[in-house]
C-alpha cells in the first residue's frame, strides 16, 4: 500500500519538438484540438513591459456571452440551428461540475455533447453510451448528437425525440457560455433577447516579476538536461504562473517546489494571463505576435518565451472532441515553449480520465 501512496494520480504527457518553419508541423491542428480554452498564460523573460503589438493582440481578444438559466431545448431552435450549421459557434455550460452535475458542450463543428448522471439520462430517453470512465457502477452517461446531420434537421425523427426529451421529460436549464464567430451576434439576438444575458471580454492581468529563478540553459536541444525531463520544467512553469514561491525556505511549509538545477536569475520577467472563453483564432494570433517579438528582439535578451493554454476542467469534451472526465482534477493543457530560431518545444497534457492528446 505504501508504494501506491507515492504515486501521484495518473497523467498523460505528450512532448514534441519541432519548428515553425518545418512544413510538416502540426502545431495549428494540435491547437485546434483543445476546444474549450479557459486561460492562456504567457511568460516572457527579460522583459519588463509588453511591446505594443503584443499588447494590442492581448486587448483584442473577442468577447463571449454568458446566458443565465438557458433551457437546453433552445439550442435546438430552428434559427439557432441555422447559425450552428454555418460553423464556428461554440458553447459550454457554466458552473456545472463534471463529476456531479449534468454538463453540456457545443463544439464548433456542430456536435452537441451532453454528460448526464444516471437519473437524468434515464429521464431524457435519448440514445447514449455509458461514460468510459465509470468505475464499477454505471453512473455517468454521454449523449452525443451531431446537429449538422440530416436526421437532426427540424422535423426529423432524432430532432423530435431530443426536443420532446428536453422540453417535457428533462427540462434542463444551465448557465451557458457562448462564443460566436465574428459578426455572428446578430443571428442569435432573438435567442438572447428571451433570457438574461451579458457580454464579457476576456480578463487580462499582467504582472512584472523581478529576480526570478529560471532554469538554464533553456534550448530546444534534445540533449539538454532539462528538456529531457518535461515534468520538472512544467512544474516550475506552473509554480511561476500560480505565484508559488520556489525558494523552499526551511520556515515555510506551504511549498517545497524548487527551480530545477542548473538555474540562473532573471532580472525581469513579464507574466500575462487572459481568462475567459477564448477562441482559437485569438490564441493563434497571440502566438504569431510572440514569434515576431522573439525574432526581432536583440540576441542575448529574450532566449525563449512560453505560452500555456488551459482547457476548461469541467468540459465534457477535451482533446479532439473525445470524452473528458474528472477524477481528482480535470486538467488538460498545452504548453508551448518558443525559441528565437523558430523552433519550439510542445507539451500536451491530460489528466487521469482523458484520452491521449494527439
Partner 1 sequence: MSVFMDLNVNYTADTSRLQSLIETAAHLGFSTVAINYVFEPTVKKKQEIPAPTAISKVMDPLPIVQGRSRPIRVLNRLTIVMSDASHFRPTAVEYRCFDLLAVQPTTEKLFHAACMIYDVDIICISVTEKLPFFFKRAPVNGAIERGLVFEVSYSAAIRDSTRRRYTIANAVCLMETCKGKSVILSSAAEKPLDLRGPYDITNLGLLFGLSDGEAKEAVSSTCRSVVLHAETRKTASGIIYTVKSCTDWPPADCEAPAAKRARPQLTQ
Binding status of residue 335 toward partner 1 by CB under 8 A? no
By rule CB under 8 A, what string of x and - marks binding of each residue 122-161 to partner 1? Answer: -------------xxx-xx---------------------
Between 101 and 146, CB nearer to partner 1: 101
Number of residues that bind partner 1 (CB under 8 A): 21
Side by side, which strands form the sheet with 332-338? 12-19, 343-350, 332-338, 305-311, 37-45, 263-278, 203-215
Indicate left, alpha or beta for 320 from its phi (over 0: left) and psi (-120 to 50: alpha).
left
Closest distance of CB 174 from partner 1, Å: 9
Q: Which residues pair with 93 in a beta bridge?
A: 176
Binding status of residue 6 toward partner 1 by CB under 8 A? no
Cβ atoms of residues 346 and 27 within 8 Å? yes
Q: Pick from 3, 4, 254, 256: which binds partner 1 (CB under 8 A)?
A: 4
Number of separate helices (H) and strands (E) present in the chain: 9, 15
**The three cell numbers locating residue 295:** 525574432
Closest distance of CB 310 from partner 1, Å: 18
Separation of CA 340 from chain center? 26
Between 7 and 157, CB nearer to partner 1: 7
**The three cell numbers locating residue 243:** 505565484
Between 292 and 327, CB nearer to partner 1: 327
Q: Pick from 33, 96, 273, 332: which binds partner 1 (CB under 8 A)?
A: 96
DSSP assignments along 80-103, one per residue: HHHHHHHS--EEEEES--TTTS-E
What sign does the dihedral 316-89-63-171 (CA atoms) show? negative
Closest distance of CB 137 from partner 1, Å: 5
Closest distance of CB 355 from partner 1, Å: 17
DSSP assignments along 122-186, one per residue: HHH----EE-TT--SS--EEEEEEETTSGGGSTTSHHHHHHHHIIIII---EEEEEEE--TT-GG
Q: Pick from 56, 149, 328, 356: which binds partner 1 (CB under 8 A)?
A: 328
Binding status of residue 16 toward partner 1 by CB under 8 A? no
Q: Pick from 26, 53, 118, 231: which binds partner 1 (CB under 8 A)?
A: 118
Binding status of residue 171 toward partner 1 by CB under 8 A? no
Residues in touch with partner 1 (CB under 8 A): 1, 4-5, 9, 95-97, 99-101, 117-118, 135-137, 139-140, 175, 327-328, 352
Amino acid at each position: 500500500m505504501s508504494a501506491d501512496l507515492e504515486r501521484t494520480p495518473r497523467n498523460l504527457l505528450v512532448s514534441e519538438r519541432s519548428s515553425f518553419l518545418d512544413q510538416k508541423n502540426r502545431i495549428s491542428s494540435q491547437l485546434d484540438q483543445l476546444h474549450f480554452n479557459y486561460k492562456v498564460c504567457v511568460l516572457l523573460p527579460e522583459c519588463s513591459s509588453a511591446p505594443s503589438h503584443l499588447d494590442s493582440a492581448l486587448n483584442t481578444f473577442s468577447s463571449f456571452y454568458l446566458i443565465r438559466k438557458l433551457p437546453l431545448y433552445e439550442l435546438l431552435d430552428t434559427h439557432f440551428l441555422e447559425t450552428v450549421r454555418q460553423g464556428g459557434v461554440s458553447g459550454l455550460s457554466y458552473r456545472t461540475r463534471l463529476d456531479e452535475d449534468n454538463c453540456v458542450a457545443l463544439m464548433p463543428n456542430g456536435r452537441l455533447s451532453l454528460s448526464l448522471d444516471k437519473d437524468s439520462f434515464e429521464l431524457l430517453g435519448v440514445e447514449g453510451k455509458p461514460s468510459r470512465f465509470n468505475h464499477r457502477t454505471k453512473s455517468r452517461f454521454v449523449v452525443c448528437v451531431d446537429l449538422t446531420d440530416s436526421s437532426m434537421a427540424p422535423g426529423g425523427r432524432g430532432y423530435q425525440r431530443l426536443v420532446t426529451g428536453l422540453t417535457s421529460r428533462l427540462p434542463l436549464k444551465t448557465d451557458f457560455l457562448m462564443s460566436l464567430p465574428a459578426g455572428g451576434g446578430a443571428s442569435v439576438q432573438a435567442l438572447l433577447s428571451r433570457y438574461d444575458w451579458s457580454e464579457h471580454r476576456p480578463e487580462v492581468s499582467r504582472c512584472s516579476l523581478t529576480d526570478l529563478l529560471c532554469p538554464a540553459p533553456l534550448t530546444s536541444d534534445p540533449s539538454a538536461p532539462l528538456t529531457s525531463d518535461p515534468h520538472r520544467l512544467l512544474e516550475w512553469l506552473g509554480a511561476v504562473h500560480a505565484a508559488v514561491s520556489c525558494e523552499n525556505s526551511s520556515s515555510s511549509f506551504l511549498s517545497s517546489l524548487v527551480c530545477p538545477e542548473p538555474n540562473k536569475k532573471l532580472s525581469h520577467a513579464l507574466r500575462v494571463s487572459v481568462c475567459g472563453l477564448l477562441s482559437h483564432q485569438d490564441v493563434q494570433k497571440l502566438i504569431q505576435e510572440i514569434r515576431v517579438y522573439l525574432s526581432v528582439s536583440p540576441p542575448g535578451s529574450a532566449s525563449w518565451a512560453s505560452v500555456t493554454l488551459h482547457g476548461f476542467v469541467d468540459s465534457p469534451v477535451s482533446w479532439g472532441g473525445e470524452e473528458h472526465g474528472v477524477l481528482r482534477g480535470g486538467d488538460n493543457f498545452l504548453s508551448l515553449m518558443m525559441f528565437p530560431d523558430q523552433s519550439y518545444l510542445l507539451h500536451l497534457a491530460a489528466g487521469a480520465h482523458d484520452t491521449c492528446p494527439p
